[in-house]
Amino acid sequence: MSEMLYEGKAKKIFTTDDEQVVLVQYKDSATAFNGQKKATITGKGRLNNEITSLLFLKLKEQGIDSHFIKRVSETEQLVKKVTIIPLEVVVRNVAAGTLSNRLGIEEGKELSTPLVEFYLKDDALGDPLVTVDHILELKAATVKELEILKNKALEINTILSSFFNELGIRLIDFKLEFGKDNEGQILLADEISPDTCRLWDKETNEKLDKDVFRRDLGSLTEAYETILAKLGGHQHV
C-alpha cells in the first residue's frame, strides 16, 4: 500500500513497494515569495513532471547521475529515495531576481563568471542566503560536500546552458537540490523545471519561467508549453 510521506508546495511524495524508491507527484499549485502568493494552475504539474524528466534524462546522457528513475504518468515519476541535503544550490549566469535586488546589479547583465550561492532550506526562516561558515556552523554539509555540490552545480550549468542555447533559450539562473542515497553517494535530486530556472527567449528576452507567475506577465502554462515543445516533449495545445 502506498502512503504519503511528504507534501510540499509543488509536489507530494509517496512510498512504493520498493523501500529504495518513492513516487513524486507534481501538483497544479504555484507559489511564490515563500508561499505568500498562491494559485492553482491546471496543467502545471504535467508540464513540470515532463520537463524535469526530459532534463534529468539529458543530464544522465552527459554523465550526471540523479535520483530520477522514470516518468510513470502525466504527473508522476519514480525516483530513488535520498536524504535531501538542506541546501538550495543556485547558479547564476546573468543577474536577475534576488541577486539584482541584493547587489544592485541590473537585471539582464551577463556575469563575468557563473556564480554559485547556497541558501538554507528552511521555510520558517524564508530560505536565507548562507555563507560556508554558516553552513559548517549549522552542520548542514561538510567542506568536502560543499566542494562536490559546487563542482556538480557548475558542471550541470555547462551542460544545461549549452543545451538550452541550442534550443534558442538563455539559461539565466537555476536552483538545484542534492540528496544522499543509502550508500552515501551524492545525487542530484528534486526537480529542474521552469519553476526552478529562469529561461529567456534568446531573440526576444521573453520570460518563459515562473517569473510569468511571480510578476503577472501572462499565461504560465503557455510559457511552460513553449519550453516543453522546444525540448521535444508532448504538446497539449
Q: Is 88 in the site for ligand C5P (CB under 6 A)?
A: yes
Whether the CB-CB separation of 217 and 211 falls below 8 Å is answered with yes
Q: How far is the CB of 131 from ligand C5P (least distance, A)?
A: 16
Grid coordinates given for 133: 561558515
Can you give 109-141 as a three-state secondary structure string?
A: CEEEEEEEEEEECCHHHCCCEECHHHHHHHCCC
Amino acid in position 111: L
Q: Is 86 in the site for ligand C5P (CB under 6 A)?
A: no
Q: Is 207 in the site for ligand C5P (CB under 6 A)?
A: no
Q: Give the largest Cα separation in the chain, rounded.
A: 52
Contact residue for ligand C5P among 97, 116, 154, 233 (CB under 6 A): 97
Contact residue for ligand C5P among 90, 130, 140, 228 (CB under 6 A): 90
- Strands 169-180 and 186-189, by their bridges, are antiparallel
Residues 168-187, interacting with ligand C5P (CB under 6 A): 173-175
The count of residues interacting with ligand C5P (CB under 6 A) is 14
Binding mask 30-59 for ligand C5P (x = CB under 6 A): ------------------------------
Whether the CB-CB separation of 177 and 89 falls below 8 Å is answered with yes
Task: Using the rule CB under 6 A, give the single segment among 24-32, 36-44, 167-175, 217-225 that binds ligand C5P.
Answer: 167-175
Q: Is 127 in the site for ligand C5P (CB under 6 A)?
A: yes
Residue 200: helix, strand or coil by DSSP? strand
